[in-house]
Structure 1
Amino acid sequence: MDVEYKDINGNHVGLDLNSVVSSQAADLGGLDIDLKSGNVINSWIEYDSSFGVLNISISYSNLKPKSPILSVSLSLDQYVNDFMYVGFSGSTQGSTEVHSIEWWSFSSRSGSGPTSPPPSSATTLTNPTADSVKSPPPLPPSSSSPSPPSSSCHNQLCREGPGAVAGVVTAGAFFLALFAGALIWVYSKKFKHENKLGQSFASEIIKSPKEFTYKELKAATRCFDANRIIGHGAFGTVYKGILPENGDIVAVKRCSHNSQGKNEFLAELLIIGTLRHRNLVRLQGWCHEKGEILLVYDLMPKGSLDKALFEAKTPLPWPERQKILLGVASALAYLHQECDRQVIHRDVKTSNIMLDEAYNAKLGDFGLARQVEHDKSPDATVAAGTMGYLAPEYLLTGRATDKTDVFSYGAVVLEVASGRRPIETGKAPARVSGNLVEWVWGLHKEGKLLTAADAKLEGRFEESAMRRVLLVGLACSHPDPLARPTMRSVVQMLVGEAEVPMVPRTKPSTSFSTSNLLLTLQDSVSDYNGIVTISSSSSDNSYIGLDLV
């Protein structure tokens, strides 16, 4: 979602006509389709020149829906030429995503109206790799002439007599019965698995405050109305809900309809259900019915921190910014050092920090979180999160630790203090780096650190406090994870109980202990089949040139 381009949300289909601002758009939430689900999504784009109507249909299924999600009256003559190229493009907008075209086909038909006797001419193009796709969407019906009716006996089987026919029929019946038995077995296994999952829910999250019914949450969100969508978290959509029994306003997070989404939801539920801290979003309850997994949280009236920073009509005052940063630091210190098992959040960013009525910070969205034993090396995974918040060693090794969370927190600190996003592609002024961390390091090198302060504050802050916060942000963003402070130390720095460690004027190069890095990389390669390409750029852009496949 990009507010600058007037996107309606982060999960929609739009029609762009010679502009990146969509002339028409439709919310995919109404079809229960999540573009971030990881599922294969089929789309049909059809134009009828007779009526001047462009129809767009979207579905997880290979069957085209009866009604298009978007229907626009349009004359394509204004936008296309007789000869043109057709292509595909994608943008991750700083996130770690993979976009791929699994199948495509193009058909064009011309000719007279339906009353014309000859068939219309047709042209069909398909992608050369279509054979590698297991179940591509069905092609439009062919306009070839119908086959003539066959006579009573024109094949060899018929001439062999009734014995051969009986044998074929018997064999066909046998294979049909075998297929039916296999189908019944698969569905029975699925039913048992769902029952087992339900029992797992009941046993594992008994500590959760309440189990809601699906009927309650469906009524609370008005049948999951697209107009009630207030956000999109990791592997789920968040709706505003009003509980019928008491009128409480809550946030209902609905799991994406895929196995990965359900696994991540279960992980989030098992983690957040055991956590209690004033700066964590409180889980009110959960629901697992009708194949749906739903989480119910307190609704934060002030929304997310990123909206307070970049979309509010009035700038967020400096005292509130300080209180928010301290609250998030306290929450991370609790997750890293005060829980029975260490919790690595892996997705610390301003859009996952919620604000209550008094601007108290509440860290939420544990969809990517992992629990590990204290002082134990975590397993390697594919790097997940948002570019600009990801630590360089995490991109290299895929191992998330408490120090990768510290780096993400450092990016949040600099974002809150400066009023700039971590990555500003194409928006940064001349001679200003599009990467926030690099930009602040450059100002610190020039002795102009306070220049990074948000101009919207108009100087309404104590310089010593702003300098302290910016230095804490740089200390947390140190390229070497061993040089970053713990979150407990960060809390002490922010309240003035400890001094900020010496932050060098020149940003250190992105270097790790050679032996440790090689061992870590070898372990990572053995843990997952990923390909990591490391650019040979200078240290000032050390992690911008990484490609993860």
Structure 2
Amino acid sequence: MRPRKLLVSFFFFIFLSSFNPIVSAENVTFDFSSFTLRNITLLGDSYLRNGIIGLTKALDVPTSSAGVVIYNNPIIFYDRESNITASFSTRFSFSINNVNPSSFGDGLAFFLSPRNRTLGSSGGYLGLVNSSQLTSNKFVAIEFDTRLDLHFNDPNENHVGLDIDSLNSIRAEDPILQGIDLKSGNSITAWIDYKNDQKKLRVYLSYSSFKPEKPVLSVDIDLSDYLKGLIYVGFSASTEGSTELHQIENWSFETIGFLPARPSGKRVGLVFAIAGPTFFGVVLVALGYLSVQKLRGIRRQMSFKAELVACPREFSYKGLKSATKGFHSSRIIGHGAFGTVYKAFFKSSGTIAAVKRSRHSHEGKTEFLAELSIIAGLRHKNLVQLQGWCVEKGELLLVYDFMPNGSLDKMLYQESELGSLLDWSHRLNIVIGLASVLTYLHQECEQRVIHRDIKTGNVLLDGNFKARLGDFGLAKLMDHDKSPVSTLTAGTMGYLAPEYLQYGKATEKTDVYSYGVVALEVACGRRPIERDDFKMVNLVDWVWGLHTYGKIIEAADKRLNGKFKEEEMRKLLLLGLSCANPDCAERPSMRKVLQILNDEAVSLDVPKIKPSLSFSSGLPLNLDDIVSDYMNSSSMCEIRIS
């Protein structure tokens, strides 16, 4: 229906309804500062102790367990008579602890379901889904997942995701980027807000009782179809061969948006007599406003497309939607700085492509134009080739060549768990290809390109396992003779150079640092930051420690079973340390890195002791300080190398 007709129909409905009083559904509110059995039902292995709910078995030995707690009274989210779906907001504190930190898994979830006896299987099913009947349970859930489960396409072992009738999350984010470790054992407060008028769901996490400004997870989603009928709310959790313990400490919940009962009988005529002239005036103003906005929207879209004329072909939104099955969650193959990536199959041509879809049509425009303007003008065998773009229906979409072997991150970690291990010759070719394309970006383009987000997740592999660099949503163009400009720090923790964290100045040397971390990952088969017992271990520090004692070759990935040339492995490890040197002045250029890898230059000397980085106050800047400063401080301090 056209906006003008829709508006007229809406006001006409209001006019008629003023003569037919409506009894609206009521908003629901409850607040449990501690729990009793009066208003909740415990299922499975859940229990109540000292006012706190435990969802899984509290044992010192690994076990499989699943438990659920449900609020006894069903909640009405949808009022048929007024055709209103309520928004909702919930706040609760939880903790995920473990007597054996090496056996974490699987996590907990907050859910809404039409069933009041929801209890699924243990393990990766989070107590939400029955392993033998995956489609039987209906629910909307926010999962707080602590295990990487390949069956459900989990991104990592520490993520928050939105699930609807399936444990393959519609979207998932890593809260560690905001300093929240789900497995820390600390009490974590969560806020989940769904605003039906905005069709948006947001999840916030904090170690304190103060709600942060930035959500951990934000999803544009219309939940109205899933909230009809009587809905129950609650929590579930599960373990499998683990001693992980899940506890809910407090819980408040409310629905928002139902209208109060309309005035009856005698008041209706008086209300209409007073409001009538105003009402029709509002209608005229609104119609005029809609017409102006529609005209402006057309002009904006035409202007936006005019900026893209020189770029590759324009795809139709209808064609891309059909090729991705309506952007179905089963077609998701990755997430980038720009947004979600879908696998697209074009029946007419029989070809496959990858489609990037912006998270937010307005907020994503800058990143969209950045990626499009940069990629469209670049040509290199180790870059992901851009096929085209689409700007329709408020969507910003990019179409790329499909990379059948996925990301380097997936091949190094996920695929290896399934038995497909990346061999040494492929690994060496990947780091050489990545060095080649970065040399091109830094020194061979008309304008120098700083990628700012070099990581294994953004290195894609074609059918021959050759590296293709992608995701230019954070990239910056700079003239070769210009100084770097200070920007907001962007990128991925573990790959960020120390000086970039402090000053926010992206240079080619910050890309070199990130490349060094990737090179070490390829050689060692370890992530940039990993949990070891009760502390976080930095890959660069770990390799440099082995180098200090003359044992650097011990850093080689044990899964290779020694199937590599020791000289090549040693060269790559030392080159990785050279690139990840805390002193940016000591890092080589990417051209030098490429020459070393191709045996066209001798390897660089790497000091036995890693140069230490410190503030001008003399305080050491270790990994914890870097993470803490990155999350909490905006001050700029002088850094010196000692």
CA distance in 2, matches of 1:153, 1:494: 83
Q: Partner of 2:569 in structure 1?
A: 466
Count of aligned residue pairs for this structure pair: 443
Q: Partner of 1:106 in structure 2?
A: 253
**Match for 2:306 among 199, 204, 207?**
199
Contact 2:162/2:171 (<8 A) preserved: no
Aligned pairs for 1:336-355 (under 5 A) are: 336-355=442-461
Matched, 1:508 2:611: yes
Q: CA deviation at 1:68?
A: 4.2
Secondary structure of the equivalent of 1:424? strand
Q: CA deviation at 1:447?
A: 1.7
CA pair 485-541 structure 1, distance change in 2 beyond 3 A: farther
Secondary structure of the equivalent of 2:340? strand
Matched, 1:326 2:427: no
CA distance in 2, matches of 1:17, 1:192: 43
**One-letter amino acid matched to 2:423:** P
Contact 1:354/1:362 (<8 A) preserved: yes
Q: Partner of 2:181 in structure 1?
A: none
Q: Partner of 2:189 in structure 1?
A: none
CA pair 28-343 structure 1, distance change in 2 beyond 3 A: farther
CA pair 154-466 structure 1, distance change in 2 beyond 3 A: closer
Q: CA deviation at 1:287?
A: 2.2
CA distance in 1, matches of 2:513, 2:387: 30
> Whose RCO is larger (CA < 8 A, sep 6+)?
2
Q: CA deviation at 1:139?
A: 4.1
Q: Deviations over 1:368-424 (max 9, x none)?
A: 111111131233222111110011111111111111110000000111100100011
Secondary structure of the equivalent of 1:434? strand
Contact 1:510/1:542 (<8 A) preserved: no
Q: CA deviation at 1:73?
A: 8.2
Contact 2:512/2:589 (<8 A) preserved: yes
Secondary structure of the equivalent of 1:543? helix
- Normalized per residue, the structure richer in strand is 2
Matched, 1:289 2:425: no
Secondary structure of the equivalent of 1:251? strand
Q: Deviations over 1:124-146 (max 9, x none)?
A: xxxxxxxxxxxxx734567xxx6
Secondary structure of the equivalent of 1:106? strand
**One-letter amino acid matched to 1:438:** D
Q: CA deviation at 1:467?
A: 1.0
Q: CA deviation at 1:7?
A: 7.5
CA distance in 2, matches of 1:274, 1:392: 31
CA pair 64-317 structure 1, distance change in 2 beyond 3 A: closer
Secondary structure of the equivalent of 1:86? strand
Contact 1:433/1:439 (<8 A) preserved: no
Contact 1:211/1:285 (<8 A) preserved: yes
**One-letter amino acid matched to 2:253:** F
Q: Partner of 1:263 in structure 2?
A: 366
**Match for 1:239 among 342, 348, 351?**
342
CA distance in 1, matches of 2:248, 2:353: 50
Aligned pairs for 1:105-504 (under 5 A) are: 106-107=253-254, 138-139=256-257, 149=264, 151=266, 170=277, 173-174=280-281, 177-202=284-309, 204-205=310-311, 208=312, 210-312=313-415, 313-425=419-531, 428=532, 434-504=537-607
CA pair 466-247 structure 1, distance change in 2 beyond 3 A: same
Q: CA deviation at 1:15?
A: 5.5
Q: CA deviation at 1:67?
A: 1.8
Contact 2:105/2:147 (<8 A) preserved: no
Q: Partner of 2:51 in structure 1?
A: none
CA pair 411-40 structure 1, distance change in 2 beyond 3 A: farther
Q: CA deviation at 1:360?
A: 0.8
CA distance in 1, matches of 2:575, 2:148: 39
**Match for 1:86 among 237, 245, 250?**
250
**One-letter amino acid matched to 2:427:** R
Contact 1:235/1:261 (<8 A) preserved: yes
CA distance in 2, matches of 1:147, 1:500: 81
CA distance in 1, matches of 2:581, 2:266: 82
Secondary structure of the equivalent of 1:547? helix
Q: CA deviation at 1:194?
A: 1.6
Q: Say which is worse superposed, 435-444 or 322-331, in terms of deviation.
A: 435-444
Q: CA deviation at 1:353?
A: 0.7
CA pair 452-225 structure 1, distance change in 2 beyond 3 A: same
CA distance in 2, matches of 1:183, 1:383: 39
TM-score by length of 2: 0.61
Q: CA deviation at 1:17?
A: 9.7
CA distance in 2, matches of 1:361, 1:18: 30
CA distance in 1, matches of 2:124, 2:592: 40
Contact 1:535/1:546 (<8 A) preserved: no
CA pair 357-13 structure 1, distance change in 2 beyond 3 A: farther
Contact 2:448/2:477 (<8 A) preserved: yes
Q: Partner of 1:529 in structure 2?
A: none
Q: CA deviation at 1:4?
A: 7.1
Q: Give the gaps of 5 or more residues in structure 1.
A: 45-57, 88-104, 108-136, 159-164, 515-533
Taking only aligned residues, the RMSD between alpha carbons, in angstroms, comes to 4.2
Q: CA deviation at 1:76?
A: 7.2
CA pair 411-463 structure 1, distance change in 2 beyond 3 A: same
**One-letter amino acid matched to 2:510:** T
Contact 2:361/2:395 (<8 A) preserved: no
CA pair 475-4 structure 1, distance change in 2 beyond 3 A: farther
Contact 1:327/1:360 (<8 A) preserved: yes
Secondary structure of the equivalent of 1:343? strand
CA distance in 2, matches of 1:72, 1:150: 34
- Normalized per residue, the structure richer in helix is 1
Contact 2:170/2:329 (<8 A) preserved: no
CA pair 358-424 structure 1, distance change in 2 beyond 3 A: same
Q: Partner of 1:65 in structure 2?
A: 224
Q: CA deviation at 1:223?
A: 2.2
CA distance in 2, matches of 1:180, 1:454: 66
Q: CA deviation at 1:490?
A: 0.3
CA distance in 2, matches of 1:497, 1:304: 29
Contact 1:537/1:545 (<8 A) preserved: no
Q: Deviations over 1:17-75 (max 9, x none)?
A: 99879999865799997567xx993379xxxxxxxxxxxxx9747x8513249999898
**One-letter amino acid matched to 1:42:** L
Contact 1:59/1:65 (<8 A) preserved: no
CA distance in 2, matches of 1:442, 1:408: 19
**One-letter amino acid matched to 2:378:** L
Q: CA deviation at 1:352?
A: 0.8
CA pair 250-508 structure 1, distance change in 2 beyond 3 A: same
Secondary structure of the equivalent of 1:66? helix
CA distance in 2, matches of 1:74, 1:298: 43
